[in-house]
A = this chain, B = another copy of it.
Amino acid sequence: MRIYHGNIVYSKNKDELVELSNGYIIVNDEGIIEEVSNAIPEQYKNVSITDFGDDVIIPAFSDLHVHAPQYPNRGIAMDKLLADWLNEYTFPLESKYKDEKYAKEVYTKFVNDLIKHGTMHAVVFGTIHNPATDILVNELENKGIQSYVGKVNMDKDSPDYLIEETNQSIKDTETFVKKHSNNKYAKPILTPRFAPTCSFELLNKLGELSNKYKIGVQTHIVESLWEKEEAKKCFGGCICDMHIYKEAGLLNRKPFIAAHFIFPSEEDIKILKECNGYAVQCPDATTNVIAGIMQTGNLLDKGINLGIGSDISAGSYLGIYRQVASVVRLSKIKAFYEKDIRTINFKEAFYMATKQSGALFNRVGSLEKGYYFDALVLTDLNDSFNKLKPAELVERFCYSGDVTNIKSRYMRGILINKD
């Protein structure tokens, strides 16, 4: 049992950001929050206290869309256009993961940096390579990161060196799923790259695996105007991108993670809602490669589950906190250019990055009773001449902060990193 004292900020729902100045969080020996309070309750009077003074305690972040193998390309070639970026940088890099030594080096750094930036839960793309993706899963599992990780499937319309033969792709996927099905933290997820690089046979067989192993799916959905049309062209009988996955039996198990979801039709939205899936906004990524801007406010108002992704390396920064700011900022640009668009406020974006995305995992994303104490302690954000309130400090962290503002990181009640 332990008590943490400081300024406490967490989302209760999309409209309510709880802000407790000088509060106490009581955490039990399983790392679960027993109580959050303005004073120490009588029965905990003798429990030892960790005092963070004026620092701010917030829930750790979740990154719902990130390509771990693309980490070596973060922050470069960002002025390229999509096709050049894919063919000259992204695909050649992904082909390197046939080398397990290379994979081990990259994935070790990737997972360390995730934690450094305060991300403790993630939905992660690997590559087509089983041994490399096994290494990625093991790194995440060993570090205790609650995550869904996928070996990528792609059997058409990709560079020769990345195309799989359909049956081998399915066989490798089944091996991958079986190998990691008993993991405690890092769980397998099916990962067809996106509709234009998958045959219907591949998707259909992945649907069978989904049912057989009760396992969810991550992919890219209506990520660009090109992809939206191309997907329909490739799958003639389907009326929209989501319809393809429904037909293939890929929406029957949870979770379903739809990265980007920028240009959904009403039917796409309806199907995503029916399967209780998540749409993931990756604001910097979709502006770096000119895909467009998600209709975040509309989707939130329709009750679609929304999360935020760093989308390395179309995105360039691993910290989800910067993406919280970018979600708000992009909603303003969208409102400037398009009619009848509402903007997103800070509370909503923070909720997306913490409590709503955390709901994909086990008891994380908030600091309410019953949640794991997966938390960050933020420091050095206030000025001596102008004291801000705790929630303002969290906003400042997202807009103006960096990794130096994360003083401590707790995972399930355990201090995992400290300056």
Contact = CB atoms under 8 A, between A and B. Distances in A.
Nearest to A404: B404
A297 to B, nearest CB: 12
B396 A76 contact: yes
Interface stretch (A270-278, A282-290, A369-377): A282-290
A235 interface: no
Interface string A379-407: 00001111010001001111111111000
Contacts of A76: 388, 392, 395-396, 399
Contacts of A29: none
A396 B74 contact: yes
A293 interface: yes
25 contacts: A72-B385, A72-B386, A74-B400, A75-B396, A76-B396, A77-B392, A78-B346, A79-B328, A79-B343, A79-B344, A79-B345, A81-B343, A102-B385, A105-B384, A106-B383, A284-B329, A289-B332, A290-B333, A290-B335, A290-B336, A292-B336, A316-B325, A317-B399, A317-B400, A402-B403
A333 B287 contact: yes
A395 B287 contact: no
A284 B109 CA distance: 30
Nearest to A80: B345
A161 interface: no
Nearest to A78: B399
A388 to B, nearest CB: 6
Contact of A404 (B317, B318, B395, B402): B402
Contacts of A293: 333
Contacts of A328: 78-79
Nearest to A74: B400
Interface of A: 72-79, 81, 102, 105-106, 109, 284, 287-290, 292-293, 316-318, 325, 328-330, 332-333, 335-337, 343-346, 383-386, 388, 392, 395-404
Contacts of A317: 399-400
A314 to B, nearest CB: 11
B75 A316 contact: no
**Number of identical monomers bound together in the oligomeric complex:** 2
Contacts of A388: 76
Nearest to A79: B345
A265 B398 CA distance: 36
A397 B317 CA distance: 10
A402 B400 contact: no
A316 B403 CA distance: 16
Contact of A337 (B81, B102, B337): B337
A292 B385 CA distance: 32
Contacts of A318: 400
Given A75-B401, A287-B332, A402-B404, 18 more contacts: A72-B383, A72-B386, A75-B395, A75-B398, A78-B329, A79-B328, A109-B383, A109-B385, A284-B329, A287-B329, A290-B335, A290-B336, A290-B343, A333-B333, A337-B337, A402-B403, A403-B404, A404-B404
